[in-house]
Amino acid sequence: MDLALGLGVSAAGGGGSFIQGIEIINEIINDDFTEIELQNIQSISENDFAVVAGGIGKPDALSKPIEFAERMSVVLQQYEENYTKISGFAPIEVGPINGLLPIAIAHKNPNYCVYDCDGGTARSL
């Protein structure tokens, strides 16, 4: 809950609903989430390919963020079959939804990492 609250305060109202952020956190914790490793953005090599994971627009349009994260598995697989391998996710912005969706998607797809794009040092969540 502290993470969703911190993301909401830092985003000053952007990046999605605090309630949906709490929903994301509760769902991944109930799905045996322990931690993910954040990779420093400077660790991306020329051959790595990161994608953004988040939403733009009205937060209420994303009524079930966890279902969205689960559906991303199919999208990722199809993208990699047709284009290139994805190394990880770059959060699109701070906010309860956009800060947590990359974590939820990486939790559902453990072959991918999440890049720490705020310029800080990589750490575990």
Provide the pairing of β-strand 113-116 with 38-40.
parallel
Report, at the CATH architecture level, how domain 2-116 is classified: 3-Layer(aba) Sandwich (3.40)
Residue 124 scores a pLDDT above 50: no
pLDDT tens per residue across span 91-112: 877 778 888 888 888 888 888 9
Tokens of 26: 């509760």
pLDDT tens per residue across span 36-93: 878 888 888 889 999 887 777 666 666 677 777 778 888 899 999 999 999 999 887 7
125, 29 Cβ separation under 8 angstroms: no
21, 63 Cβ separation under 8 angstroms: no
Q: For the residues 16-37, what does the mean pLDDT come to?
A: 82
Q: Does the predicted TM-score (pTM) go above 0.85?
A: no
Q: What angle do CA 120, 101, 4 make, to 5 degrees?
A: 70
Query: How is the chain split into domains, by residue range?
Result: 2-116
